[in-house]
Copies of this chain bind each other. A is one copy, B any other.
Amino acid sequence: MAEYSAPVKDMRFVLDNIAGLDDLSKLDGFAHVEGDVVDAILEEASKFAGNVLSPLNKPGDLTGSHVKDGVVTTPPGWKEAYQGFVEGGWNGISAPEEYDGGGLPQAVTMATLEMWNAANLSFALCPLLTQGAIESIRAHGTKEQQDKYLKKLVSGEWAATMNLTESQAGSDVGALRSKAEPAADGSWRISGQKIFITYGDHEMSENIIHLVLARTPGAPAGTRGISLFIVPKYLVNDNGTLGARNDLKCVSLEEKIGIHASPTAVMSYGDNGNCVGYLLGEENKGMACMFTMMNSARLGVGVQGLAVAERAYQQAVEYARDRRQGQAPGMPKGEMTPIIHHADVRRMLMTMRANIEAMRCLIYLNGACLDRAHHGPDAETREIAMGMAELLTPLSKAWCTDLGVEIASTAVQVHGGMGFVEETGVGQYYRDARILPIYEGTNGIQALDLVGRKLGLRGGEPVKQMFADMQETVKGLAAAGDEMAAMSLQLNLAVSALKDATDWLYSNAPNDPHAAPAGATPYLRMFATTVGGHLLAKSALKAKAMLEGGASDTDFLKAKIVTARFFMGQILPTATALLGPVTEGPETLFAIDEELLSA
């Protein structure tokens, strides 16, 4: 099993041609983001990912994290790797420079995030959570809170967690019961139990800043009565030094299917009535604060889907080149053929590859939209970009994580019997990937977000803009002729079907509250796959232009065109066919009484 090797060339291609790196570097605050700087960053990150994080992945799975007397121990090497991560400045590369961050665009961060997660998903979860807290405190914290927490979180000396879920409150966050009582000094006393808290405790960082959702006395029911609190593991003195241990602890860790090295904690706050918290943002506005980090956290989980798929793909290609079985047509007689030359194995690999490249386009574009939303030259540009970022987010999260599971499963299949044996390591990706469609809003929730909120966002402008972009690509393909013209027809069919599905949702949602939810999941799949096809087609057009302009890397550029053609011919058609399922309506879903669904 080889270590992870970051696909730096493809990452850079997507950054240049889909995310628009050149344009991003012209935005306010990104003047330092030149092409060779980005190259250097990707190169260094790929070394850290491949040499440090990747070798810890499988041992971490075998050892797991453990808790004893409320103290969590991460696997051997974990703490040292985290220290290296912090010292390398990787933790805060997209955080603002005023807090000693790297001030890099989100688009570029997508690439480094992909690397950490492909190398070691369990490890990469820790900084992912810290990132969410940084954004939340930046957006909603007082000046004093920002000064107290941000630099340490940006550097990674302190880590952070997000505490939403309680046993009765999962997708339905509004059902949470944890409490916050005001104290005389203006702080709060937190009490309650939270579950599924990723990196709820560990010894990798000096301190852990827990962001905890709770209800204040007399708060309204549901999501409108939730407030967000900063609850440090060690209280922080005004001079920035660490004070007393707060009244909170890790009660237990879950035994999970995968991500064994990532401690998933049950956290108890205020067992002794003395858990100190500080209100972040306004009282009863906790959900709004959570939404601040939601977009980027969901996008981050989408990256995890892409990342685990890439890792699984690399291992599958390696195995398929090495393993010999049978005799493929046209291969040398008298010896077994590497299975990569069997058409059905090649189909599996190409399916993985085409989906991965499409996901990478979607994710990096989504990151670039966030950059334009925050750094765009004027309010209108920023609003338009934010609309697009918000539209793409549920696609990035749900599609890329569903594909993460599917591709990890295919990688096991490529390995045959060896894939089912843990020794090979590919089984870990299959087990690890399974959490991704669940956490940070299940993929069902993402689909509801798409049909319920995003289609109607800003009067439907982002959707219209995406359709216009796709039509542009359809035209571009047609004008480019030859094999491109064939892709134009295929993409046009998909876009038309997606439009029909969208119109059906717009028409039927107002009349039947079940109509949109019933079609939401196939609609998201259809939408994301079509966007994926559109972005691969754009890549192919760019590659063609570069080839015609005499670019040197012809193999790579020709492969870009083939991959797009494969996607159009092999992957897009079933997505287009989801028009039927989306517009079938909810009747057959509910026609069998729930009691009759069990045997």
Q: What 0/1 pattern do residues 228 to 243 of A give for CB contact below 8 A with B? A: 0000000000000000
**Does the CB pair B314–A598 fall under 8 Å?**
yes
Residues of B within 8 A of A599 (CB): 5-10, 314
**Does the CB pair B570–A574 fall under 8 Å?**
no
A596 beta carbon closer than 8 Å to chain B: yes
A533 beta carbon closer than 8 Å to chain B: no
**Does the CB pair B434–A592 fall under 8 Å?**
no
Residues of B within 8 A of A471 (CB): none
The segment out of A387-395, A419-427, A535-543 that lies at the interface is: A419-427
Contact A175:B336 (CB < 8 A) given known A349-B597, A430-B434, A442-B413: yes
Residues of B within 8 A of A336 (CB): 168, 172, 175
Q: When chains A and B are docked, how far (Å) is the Cα of A10 from the Cα of B293?
A: 48
The segment out of A126-134, A146-154, A583-591 that lies at the interface is: A583-591
Chain B residue nearest to A583 (CB atoms) is: B569
**Chain B nearest CB, measured from A229 CB (Å):** 22
**Does the CB pair A343–B514 fall under 8 Å?**
yes
**Chain B nearest CB, measured from A407 CB (Å):** 13
**Does the CB pair A255–B346 fall under 8 Å?**
no
**Does the CB pair B597–A340 fall under 8 Å?**
yes
Name the one of B326, B347, B574 contacting A589, with C-beta atoms under 8 angstroms.
Answer: B347
**Does the CB pair B589–A581 fall under 8 Å?**
no
Chain B residue nearest to A599 (CB atoms) is: B7
A27 beta carbon closer than 8 Å to chain B: no
Residues of B within 8 A of A405 (CB): 409
A329 beta carbon closer than 8 Å to chain B: yes
Q: What 0/1 pattern do residues 404 to 422 of A give for CB contact below 8 A with B? A: 0100010011001101111
Q: When chains A and B are docked, how far (Å) is the Cα of A439 from the Cα of B170?
A: 38
Chain B residue nearest to A437 (CB atoms) is: B413
Residues of B within 8 A of A172 (CB): 325-326, 336
Contact A409:B421 (CB < 8 A) given known A318-B598, A588-B350, A596-B556: no
Residues of B within 8 A of A579 (CB): 573
Q: Which of A310-358 contact B (CB under 8 A)?
A: 314, 317-318, 321, 324-326, 329-330, 336, 338, 340-350, 353
Name the one of B317, B413, B442, B588 contacting A438, with C-beta atoms under 8 angstroms.
Answer: B413
A563 beta carbon closer than 8 Å to chain B: yes
A279 beta carbon closer than 8 Å to chain B: no
Residues of B within 8 A of A434 (CB): 409, 412, 420, 427, 430
**Does the CB pair A518–B343 fall under 8 Å?**
yes
**Does the CB pair A413–B443 fall under 8 Å?**
yes
A258 beta carbon closer than 8 Å to chain B: yes
Residues of B within 8 A of A417 (CB): 165, 170, 195-196, 438-439
**Does the CB pair B413–A257 fall under 8 Å?**
no
**Does the CB pair B513–A329 fall under 8 Å?**
yes
Residues of B within 8 A of A444 (CB): 342, 344-345, 348, 413
Chain B residue nearest to A410 (CB atoms) is: B437
Do most interface residues of chain A lie in helix, strand or loop, or is the interface mixed? helix
Residues of B within 8 A of A321 (CB): 594, 597-598
A33 beta carbon closer than 8 Å to chain B: no
Residues of B within 8 A of A348 (CB): 444
A256 beta carbon closer than 8 Å to chain B: yes
**Chain B nearest CB, measured from A227 CB (Å):** 21
**Does the CB pair A422–B344 fall under 8 Å?**
no
**Does the CB pair B317–A597 fall under 8 Å?**
yes
Contact A566:B594 (CB < 8 A) given known A255-B421, A438-B420: no
Name the one of B342, B350, B420, B596 contacting A555, with C-beta atoms under 8 angstroms.
Answer: B596
Q: Which of A121-177 contact B (CB under 8 A)?
A: 165, 168, 170-172, 175
A431 beta carbon closer than 8 Å to chain B: yes
**Chain B nearest CB, measured from A470 CB (Å):** 19
**Does the CB pair A344–B517 fall under 8 Å?**
yes
A219 beta carbon closer than 8 Å to chain B: no
Q: When chains A and B are docked, how far (Å) is the Cα of A107 from the Cα of B422?
A: 36
**Does the CB pair B577–A416 fall under 8 Å?**
no
A84 beta carbon closer than 8 Å to chain B: no
Most buried by B among A325, A330, A348, A350: A325
Chain B residue nearest to A566 (CB atoms) is: B588
**Chain B nearest CB, measured from A176 CB (Å):** 12
> Could you list 9 A-B pairs, sorted by A, with CB under 8 Å?
A168-B324, A170-B417, A172-B336, A257-B421, A257-B431, A321-B597, A340-B597, A346-B589, A346-B590
Query: What 15 new A-B contacts, CB under 8 Å, besides A171-B326, A171-B416, A340-B597?
Result: A6-B599, A170-B416, A172-B336, A256-B421, A343-B586, A343-B590, A344-B448, A344-B517, A344-B520, A413-B438, A417-B438, A420-B435, A420-B438, A555-B593, A562-B592
Q: Which residues does A use to contact B, with CB under 8 Å?
A: 5-10, 165, 168, 170-172, 175, 195-196, 254-258, 314, 317-318, 321, 324-326, 329-330, 336, 338, 340-350, 353, 405, 409, 412-413, 416-417, 419-423, 427, 430-431, 434-435, 437-439, 442-444, 447-448, 513-514, 517-518, 520-522, 555-556, 559, 562-563, 565-566, 569-570, 573-574, 576-581, 584, 586, 588-594, 596-599
